[in-house]
Structure formats: structure tokens, C-alpha cells
Amino acid sequence: MDNKHDILALLRGVADGTTTPEDALLKLKEAPFEDLGYAKVDFHRSVRQGAAEVIYGAGKTPEQISGIARTMGERGCRNILVTRISQETADLVDQSVPLDYHPEARLGLAYPGEQKRLGNIVVATGGTSDMPVAEEAALTAEAMGNRVTRLYDVGVAGLHRLLSNLDTLMSARCVVAVAGMEGALASVIGGLVDCPVIAVPTSVGYGASFGGLSALLSMLNSCASGCSVVNIDNGFGAGYLASRINQMEGLVE
């Protein structure tokens, strides 16, 4: 039982008599995870949280990443996110499991497959240099079944670029605002839209930006209501949270 739909189908089978309670119990007793020695693959993550386990690639060998992804793929998982991996690692993983790699975001999708994309998430950046983090957010949200619109290089240094996209921003169910330097983009967007804004500080900036700390503190001190903040360069976390917001029951058409 790898997802909520499987469990619901099983329970309906018991209700209509096509499955015995004993067979259903056996199915539910199957191990919710598999111990590979170096990793315990959580197959019930999608049951609890609605999305499959994500593989954090940094610090793992290509063999470990391949083993985890293959185990998940054998249980029917598709569009498995593998974050923070290099091109070299991706090439080695791709020899064992199908992997769609996006070098700018350092993100791969194992066992990629077509899926319906719902709702409307906007990912906006202050500058072109913020795009790697923004792409990690956008690709994460897309892999989780969300429709994403990208608005790149619309920072406060040329505010007219942002204001020319007001229709797009105001039609979003969630906006991810990615910016370095002083991180003002999140506050500006937060004052324009009626949906949640997820602010992502990046490490882009000169010396006094302290590797993104100045943007982080600016975003934490935003005067715009409805803004939340993730960690520096955490595009994945922003994309995941945006997906949760976008797919809240009753909102997605």
C-alpha cells in the first residue's frame, strides 16, 4: 500500500465484498519501509503526506541514490525528486535508473512520467542570478503536480518589470519570491497579492550580504502580511510548501 488511493481501493473492496478482511489486513501489514542498510526507504510517505519521499543527493554516492530510486521505482513511484546532485552524479545514476536531470537547479527526476498539473503557482526572481534556486522551486512544484508560471528578473531595481505582470501575480494561488541582495522582492509582492507568499533568500550579493543572511533577515522582517520565509537557497522547501498550499482540498479545480 504505497498511497492513499491504494488504501481507499482496498477498503472499498472490503466494503463491497471483493476483498476479505483477512486479505486486507495482510496487505496493510506489509512493511511500510524497506531497509537497504544505508537507507530506510519510506513507502508510506505518500500515504501520510500526499507526496513520495524525496532523495537528498548531497553526501550520497551515485550507487546509494540509484539503489533508493530503483527501490521506489519498483514500488510504482514516479517523478522521484533527487535534489542537490552534480552532472557527474546524474550521469552515473542515469546508467541504472531513468533520470531527467536539470543542471541549473542541480535536480533530477527519476522515473519521469506525465501527470496532470493543477492550480497556479508563480515563481518570481529578483534577478537572473537567482534562477538556480528558483528553478529548484519551480521544478519541485511541477514534479508534485502543480502548474507553475515563471517570472524571472523582475526585481525592485526596475519595479516596472514586476508591475507589468500584475495579472499573472494576482491570479496565483501561491507566489514564491526568490531574491538575494536586500531581499525586497518578497515584501513588494506581499503587498500586491491576496495569496500566500513564500520568500526564498538567496546567497546572491556582495560582501555585506553575508551569503544571503541580509536577504533572510529582510524577509523575516517583512512588513507585508502573509509572507513566510524558508532557509537561504532552499528552493526545494519553497516549492514543496507551495505545492501544499496550491493543492489544499477545495481549492484545486
- Residue ending a domain, among 62, 82, 110, is 110
| Pair (124, 33) in one structural domain | no
| Pair (55, 129) in one structural domain | no
For residues 143 and 173, the answer to whether their CB atoms sit within 8 Å is no
The secondary structure of the chain in percent helix, strand, coil, rounded to multiples of 5, reads 45, 20, 40
| Pair (242, 122) in one structural domain | yes
pTM of the model: 0.82
Distance from C-alpha of 41 to C-alpha of 57, rounded to nearest angstrom: 14
Mean pLDDT score of the chain, rounded to an integer? 87
In a domain, 253, yes or no: no
Number of domains in the chain: 2
In a domain, 131, yes or no: yes
| Pair (92, 140) in one structural domain | no
| Pair (193, 126) in one structural domain | yes
In a domain, 23, yes or no: no
Q: Which residue has the cell 498539473?
A: 117
Distance from C-alpha of 123 to C-alpha of 206, rounded to nearest angstrom: 24
End-to-end CA, the chain: 27
pLDDT digits (tens, 9 = 90+) for 35-71: 576 666 666 566 565 667 788 999 999 999 999 999 8
In this predicted structure, the answer to whether residue 72 has a pLDDT above a threshold of 90 is: no
Instruction: Give the range of the structural domain holding residue 238, as residue numbers without chain letter.
Output: 118-246
- Residue ending a domain, among 79, 110, 141, is 110
| Pair (141, 95) in one structural domain | no
In a domain, 13, yes or no: no
| Pair (231, 207) in one structural domain | yes
In a domain, 150, yes or no: yes
pLDDT digits (tens, 9 = 90+) for 79-89: 889 999 999 99
What would you measure as the largest C-alpha separation in the chain, in angstroms?
68
- Residue ending a domain, among 110, 139, 173, is 110
CATH number at residue 185: 3.40.50.1970
pLDDT digits (tens, 9 = 90+) for 93-120: 999 999 999 999 999 999 998 888 989 9
The three cell numbers of residue 157 are 531595481
Beta bridge partners of 175: 122, 197
Which parts of the chain are beta strand (E)? 33-35, 40-42, 55-56, 80-83, 99-102, 107-110, 118-125, 146-151, 174-179, 197-201, 227-229
Distance from C-alpha of 125 to C-alpha of 139, rounded to nearest angstrom: 14
pLDDT digits (tens, 9 = 90+) for 7-37: 777 788 888 888 888 877 776 665 566 657 6
